[in-house]
Each structure stands twice: as C-alpha cells, then as structure tokens.
Amino acid sequence: MSFPLKKSLFAILASCVLLLAACGTNKEDAGNKENGTEAKKVLNVGTEATFAPFEFMDKGEITGFDIDLLSAAAEEAGYELKIENTGWDAMLAGLQGKQLDIGMSGITIKEDRLKTYDFSVPYFESTSMIAFNKDVKINSAEDLKGKKIGVQNGTTGQYSAEDIVGKNSSDISKYETAALMFQALQSKNVDAVVTDIAVALEYVKNNPDNGVQTVGDKQFDAEYYGFAFQKGSELTDEFDTALNKLFENGKYEEIYKKWFNEEPNLKSLQEAANLYK
Ligand code: ARG
C-alpha cells in the first residue's frame, strides 16, 4: 500500500471514530433527564380505557385519575409518557414482551402478578362490588349463586365471582373490556357484574336511568392498585420515589380530591405498601 493511501485511510478511520463518538454523546444527551434543555425520555404506557373514573375516553382523549397520577409521577421522575389504549390483554403482553414500559389500568397488585411484573407502591385501595339489574334480588355475594354473572376477563372481579360460584361455572361470562361487561348488564345478557367498587359506583352515577344497583360484601378482600412495570425494570424504584413525593407534597391528595371528592386515606396505603415490598 502506498503511503498517501495509508494516510487517507487513516483519515477516514479517524473521522469514523469521531463520528461514532459524536453519535454516542448525542444519544446520551437525549436520554439525560438531568439536562432540562434536552428532550425527556418517552415511556410507552398501555391501558384499557373503559374503566372510569380511572381511565376512560373523553372526546377522543384518554383521561382519568390514573392518567393524572401517572403523569404527575412521570413529571417528577423526569419522563414523558406516550399513553395508548391497548386493551387489557395487550397491555399485559406488551409489558412481558417489553414493548411497553408501564401498565396503567387500575391494576390490582397480586402475588401471582408479582411473579411476572414489577409493581409500584400501592396508590388506591379497592375491593370487588356487585352491580345488578334491579329486577333481580341480590343482597350479598351468596346471592350470585344461580345468577348470570358478567366479569372483565382476567381481572379480580372474575376471581371474586369464581370464589362464590366456582372457577368453571358456566354462569360466568367473561368480557374483554369493562365497557363490554357493562353493556351485557344493560342489555340484560347477565343479571349482575362483579367489578371494582369505584368503577361500579361511577357507572351507576353516570347511568342513573339504567336501573342498576350495587352491593358490596365483606367476603371481598381489600385490594390495592399499582402501576405495573417490566420485571426487573429500573423504572419501578424511580416511580416509587416519585409517587412517595406526591403522597408527601399534597399533589396526590389534590388529584384524589379532583376525582373522588373526598380525602384519601394515606395511612392505609402506607400500611399496604409494607405488604408487598
Ligand atoms: N383491579 C382489577 C384487576 O386488576 C380490574 C382492573 C381492570 N382495569 C381496566 N382498566 N379495565 O384485576
């Protein structure tokens, strides 16, 4: 190889190295959330947005308590969110397949789910509730026996119903979304649905003319919502820190009051946090 060629090859190589190095720093800068001038990292969030007041569509926008809370936490942690109405099953699959960073859907923290996903600290206390057509007689969970029951597939409402009437009961119809479950109730394809308390109450509030009543039962355990992350994700700790900040600085309380018109019980959330961590 003649000397000038060697020299120019060296020059090319050297500029490649410089170019790569430059690319490297650019990338780092873009992902650097300490640096306020650079774009924040965008996290992909999946949800099932037929679950008012936690997540629902309003004039084409996904809105609700969960959206306000997760957005405040993301702001605190220095991230931007891209929220998509993926549906329940696709949300969970997306977390497992690592296409999604966060599952936001009033998701109950459960031991078996903790094997597959990480969860944030608990941010809402819930329990199952029965919503039923007023022409059927239901005074307690036991009265679900012999009734046609609708649930959202793969949710704690399904498990609560199964605890009463049996896991393989043909009286349980499973729907893909909370909206389809309520539609089945409205069109009397089922006598009752079992869902989360705040969602049952919100449905009745928003549909006062549908003749739907609600009843709870001590048999239904307390459950706690958490945001779900990929197993082993570093985001879990970052969002826990952010959420704890919101519990302390009054922001959580503000968001809670906006959606539920009452004071949150922060102490019970605190106690629940010790159950899962
Ligand atoms: N909390 C219940 C569960 O985790 C139901 C959640 C359903 N959420 C929804 N957005 N449809 O099983």
Residue 267 lies inside a defined structural domain of this protein: yes
Instruction: Please state the separation of Cα 1 from the chain's center in Å.
Output: 63
- Residue where one domain finishes, among candidates 215, 243, 265: 215
> Tokens 């020059």, residue?
11
| Domain shared by 164 and 191, yes or no | yes
- Residue where one domain finishes, among candidates 215, 239, 258: 215
Residue 176 lies inside a defined structural domain of this protein: yes
| Domain shared by 109 and 188, yes or no | no
What is the rounded distance in angstroms from the CA atom of residue 191 to the CA atom of residue 184? 9
Name the band, by pLDDT with cuts 50, 70 and 90, for residue 28: very low
Contacts of 260 by beta carbon, 8 Å cutoff, 6+ apart = 53, 65, 198
The atom of ligand 1 lying closest to the CA of 47 is 10
| Domain shared by 148 and 104, yes or no | no
- Give whole-number Cα distances, 120 to 41, 150, 273, in Å: 19, 29, 9
Greater confidence (80 vs 276) lies with: 80
Mean pLDDT of 49-61: 98
Nearest CA to ligand 1 atom 5: 155
The CATH number assigned to the domain holding 132 equals 3.40.190.10
Mean pLDDT of 127-138: 97
User: Ligand 1 centroid to 210 CA: how many Å?
Assistant: 23
Here the tokens at position 139 are 């005074």
The atom of ligand 1 lying closest to the CA of 178 is 11
The atom of ligand 1 lying closest to the CA of 113 is 4
Residue 93: give the domain boundaries: 41-125+224-276
Does this model's pTM top 0.85? My answer is yes
| Domain shared by 172 and 105, yes or no | no
User: Ligand 1 centroid to 122 CA: how many Å?
Assistant: 14
Mean pLDDT of 75-97: 98
Name every protein residue with a CB atom under 6 angstroms from any ligand 1 atom. 48, 51, 55, 88, 105-108, 152, 155-156, 178, 196
Q: Is the pLDDT of residue 231 over 80?
A: yes
Query: Closest Cα partner for 178 from 160, 203, 159, 161?
Result: 203
**CB burial readout 76-110, b (16+ within 10 A) else e:** bbebebebbbbbbebbbebbeeeebbbbbbbbbbb
